[in-house]
Structure formats: structure tokens, C-alpha cells
Structure 1
């Protein structure tokens, strides 16, 4: 086992009920994050006062138009989907003897970057895979400058030579939930992989470690821990890394805020605005911790004067992973942009992790699967 090794659960250990539960959590995580993203998309750059003036004292209570439609997602969801696709391709490529997941994630992020500059899919790219051919993803939805600049060339940022070493924007955190869905991995490995991939665009220690902590929180709840227990597990992992202080302090403030009284937009804003990594993580975690249900948690997460789509996305990823897809408000699910793509990718992710050897192992190979997730 190398530094990015795993202890992936074998197919024989996955019973039917376990597979169904895991698929529901993967669907919940990706759909929940996309719903939170879409709820915040139309108010991302507005102050709380402006949100209330436009939508009433409660703020938004559902989707509002953004990018020409209701239920539109932003770069948060786009990059999260490519993270999940990159992880699938990493597991598929492992059969070749090549096992370096950050390289596969970087390839996925380069495919995302192409969606931000090209008019549509380039059918001449033989190893693009199916996700990069989804035309609806070819849309600019306020991508972060660090994400664009970090992926402007083919050189991959590494922990030793990170891209944008001074950047701790939330762009690495908001895309990192899929790392937490690697249920067969040890928590420290999930944390490290998310952090190592964050430096491909965000090299500041806080930008990197907040991404690792977020992945660890998702990982904990998917494996059956309480949300508070998962947060405290992430804090323990953080403590082992130099430069953890900002992220640790932000998560501790989120835990303290839970005990300070009923949740309000003002209490949420005491944790920050969400533009930087540790604030976005703390705000999303706080809203998930105090959520009476998914609807309440997501509306709290977006109704503030900051990076509403990112805090909504983080909260939605957590709540969806914690409770599964069936708790998501159906009216929001049905109106969500890209719903069919998100569900297709979620099901593929769950299938790869639970039945991968039957799709591309030594004794079996599905040509259709390898066309969807090329090994190149």
C-alpha cells in the first residue's frame, strides 16, 4: 500500500442491503450538494439585507432564477461531479498497475476546465469519457479565479509545489465531498487525498486542510458516525498537520455556535461569509448540525450575505450523505438542473466501489464500462 493506498471493501462483503444503503447515501450527497448550490446560486453576491428586501423576511424559500432558469447549479456542482468521475477512473485504472489518484483527479479537473473555455464537447478526444460529453456542463457559472488559474496549463500542483500557494478560497472545499464517499479507505487516507488534490488549485495550508477536513466529515457520516462525532474526528486528523489552526478554530466556532441559541442568519454570519475555505466549511457544518430537516438546514445555509451557493452545497453534501436521497425535498429534486446526470454518476460511483471487480477485474471486463471510464 502506498501513500494513497486503500482498504477498499471487497464485493463479497457488500450485501444487497448494504449496497442499496450506500447508493442512497452517494445519491443523497451529490444531489443534496447540487440542491444547496442551486438554492444559493441566485443570491450568491447579495447582502442579507438585499436578500430579505427582494424575497421577504425569511429570505429565499426555494429556487430563484439564476443563469436563465430555476434550479441552476454553479461551478461547485460542476467540479464536484468531475471529482467523483476522477475517483471512478482512478479505481478503474488501478487494474493496469498505475495507482496515483491525484493524477486521475487532475485529469478530471482539466476536463472541467475545458468546459469553461470550449463551446461544447470535443468528440475527437478519445479518452474524454461520458461526463465530459454532457453539453449542459459547458457553461461558466462564476468559477473561482484560483480554480481557473490553477488549471490553466497541464502542470499538476503537488504538496511540494502547490498551485496558488497563497490562495485559501473555498474552491477546493466545495468540490471535495466525493473523497468522503470512499468508505473502504481509512479516514486519514481520505483526508490526505482530498488535501493533496486541493493543492492543484489552492496551495495555502488552510485551503488544503479545510478540504481534507470536509472529506473526513462526509466520510464519517457515511460510515455511520453522528455528525458531531464526524466533526470531532476531522478535528483530530487536522491536529496532526502543520498550519491547521485556522481550520480547527473555525470548526470549533461552529460547534460552539450550536449551543449559543436558536439558529439564525445572524448567528450563521458570525462564522464568516464563506468566501474562504475555513469559513465556508464552518458555515456548512453549522447549518447541518442545527438542521431540523434538510429543507430547514439548506435554507439556513444559503440565506446570508456571503458565498451562498458554496455554503449551501457543503451543507447539502453533508445532509445528503448523512440521511440518504429519500430525505431530499422532491420538488427541489425534480427541478434541479442536471438531475439525470447527477443520478447517473452517483449510481456509477456506487457501482464501482461495490462491484468494481465484476466490471474490470482480471476475470471480467465490461467494454461499455471502460468506454465510460477510460483507463488512458
Structure 2
């Protein structure tokens, strides 16, 4: 895998850092916007919050505002694994262990879902020591059961479009909502491969792992400087090389077609599905980011629908954040999102690791 960004100029490095921050903070903002309304129909959302639906953070669990869900939790543990794997390769010259490190990071996440807080007598450092991450926010069953199986894929095996060993029939959006970080630290092709294999830790359905790979590749193309539409088109070409890509390809093509039809609407979002499965969540996130040029409006569009609002909001946030950088995100929402300082810090750590010479 090609991890390092070679000899960047100061300007290029600054833009890259902003995109990494934007991707991770944007994902957290979209997640927090959608989490309180995740299981509500669009009619119910409008009844409770007004005809426009939610227009900002609304109270979630225990009346708190700006809470993130398992989507951002797992994304952060993905980042932690990538930082560790890159540092190991850079310092020790030992590569190829990223899949094991990713599995171990997800096992640490699983620990946060079953304990009230960090073990005080055994400080371990890293995200596992962060008390605010010890919160169970409706994690997917496949994520929970998959991580518990302690499987890590062989990075040398070719993606063949066949069901994986773990939860072979599952293609829930738990694969794609955590996979943007792969696109922040690798080439598009490398990001696709890593994200797809990483998804197989919990979900074995080809569409589940290809959708994860597709999001990572789109983010990587954007980081390289492509437009979002161009990134999606190039990702479709990448997908076409892999057997079993058809569902993921059809979903992305549907998002592109709808985005080209004019004024974005909640009806168009719901034409793409509810987002509970991977390809639908990806399509909704892509559609909203493409169809609505205003970042705030795109994020609101991505959560105001009948379905998995936090996952679609998270994916849309990853995309608009990667495109516009952290300075392009709504400042008030960024300030209010749970864990903002820690998310920004780990984003900077990830950027620094890739830029390290």
C-alpha cells in the first residue's frame, strides 16, 4: 500500500490537513444531526420538528445535544488503527499488519460498548482511555457480532466478489459509515482495497464491502484534488474491475442521475432507499453532497428522511468535509459536536503521520 504523501509543499500540506479535519469533523456533525431522529419517519420528523424537519442539533439521549453515535465511534477507532499501522511501517519498516491492528482497534471499540468506562487501575492510553466513548448508541448487530469473532482478512487475498467468512449475508451500512479514513491516508486504489477488506471483519456480503471501498476511494480522489462528481465517476470505473460490483455501481449511478435532475428534495433521497444497507447509505450521502452545494443544507438534506439518518448524515459529512475542509463546515455545529477537540486532534495525528518524511 502507498501510504505517504511525497514531498508536499507547505500549501499542499495545509490543504491536506484541512481536508482530513473536515472529513472527520464533518462526519461527526452529520452523525450528531441524524442520531436523534434515526428511527423516525419523515412525517414524524416534520411533525415533531416542523415542516423543514431538523434544522440543527436537537436533544438526543438524556436531553444532550450534539451526541455522536457508533458511526463516529468506529470511524475514530479506524483512524487509530491506521495511525498505528503507518507508524509501525515507517519506524520499524514492517508492513502488512494493518488488518490485525484494525481488528484489534475494533475489539477496543467493542469493549466500550459493554463497560461503563475505562479501567482505572490499568491505564492503556489512546481512545480506549476516553470516558466519553463509553456509550452504546444503537450499534449494528453485525458490527457487534462480527468484531466478537476476532477475524482479520488476509491483505494478500484478491477481492473476488464472493461472500466473506463473517456474517456472509450482511451488507448493513456499518461497513461504509466507518470507512472514510482509509481514503485520507492512501491512494484511491489502495484505499478501496483496505476499506473493502476491513469491512469483511464484520460484514461478508460483497455489496457491503464494496460500498465501503467505494466511499474510501471517493474520499481519496477528493483528497488528490478531484471534484466530488469526478471522484464518483472515477470510483465507478474502479468498481467495474471487481466481480460482484453491480449493486454498489447501480446505487452510485442512481445518486449521480438524481443529483443532475435539479432541485434536491427529501423525496429524491427516499427514492434511493432508507440507508439501512450499505449501498443505499452510500448513495444517499453522495447524492446529498452532490445535489446541494451549500454545506449546511447538504447535511440537513442527508438526515431529514425516513431511515438511517445518522449513517447517511455521517457519510455526507465525510464527503463535504473532505471537499471543503474544516473551515467550510458550519462553525456552530462543529463547536457543539461531542468530542470535537479529540476528533480534531486525532485528525491532525493522522495527517501528520502521512506527511511524515
TM-score of the two chains, using structure 2 as the length reference: 0.94
* Residues 293-332 of structure 1 aligned to structure 2 (within 5 Å): 293-332=294-333
Pick from 146, 150, 155: which aligns with 2:146? 150
- Structure 2 counterpart of 1:372: none
1:193–1:22 CA distance, 2 compared to 1 (3 A): same
Does 2:344 align with 1:343? yes
Gaps of 5+ in 1: 358-376
- Structure 2 counterpart of 1:171: 174
* Residues 88-167 of structure 1 aligned to structure 2 (within 5 Å): 88-94=83-89, 95-100=91-96, 101-122=98-119, 128-157=124-153, 161-167=164-170
Contact kept, 8 Å, 2:3 with 2:86, in 1: the verdict is no
- Structure 1 counterpart of 2:160: none
Task: Tell me how many residue pairs correspond in the alignment.
Answer: 347
How large is the Cα RMSD of the aligned pairs?
Answer: 1.5
Pick from 13, 16, 38: which aligns with 2:10? 16
* Residues 344-359 of structure 1 aligned to structure 2 (within 5 Å): 344-355=345-356, 357=357
- Structure 1 counterpart of 2:275: 274
Pick from 56, 61, 69: which aligns with 1:67? 61
Contact kept, 8 Å, 1:162 with 1:201, in 2: the verdict is no
* CA shift for structure 1 position 333: 1.0
Residues 64-93 of structure 1 show CA distances to partners (whole Å, capped at 9, x for unaligned) of: 111220100000000001111110000111
Contact kept, 8 Å, 2:103 with 2:151, in 1: the verdict is no
How many angstroms apart in 2 are the aligned matches of 1:7 and 1:337?
A: 29
- Structure 1 counterpart of 2:192: 191
- Structure 1 stretches of 4+ with a deviation exceeding 6 A read none
How many angstroms apart in 1 are the aligned matches of 2:114 and 2:3?
A: 38
Gaps of 5+ in 2: 158-162
* CA shift for structure 1 position 287: 0.2
* CA shift for structure 1 position 58: 0.5
How many angstroms apart in 2 are the aligned matches of 1:162 and 1:188?
A: 23
How many angstroms apart in 2 are the aligned matches of 1:288 and 1:124?
A: 45
* CA shift for structure 1 position 9: 2.3
Pick from 18, 24, 28: which aligns with 1:30? 24
Residues 279-305 of structure 1 show CA distances to partners (whole Å, capped at 9, x for unaligned) of: 000000000001221100000000000
TM-score of the two chains, using structure 1 as the length reference: 0.89
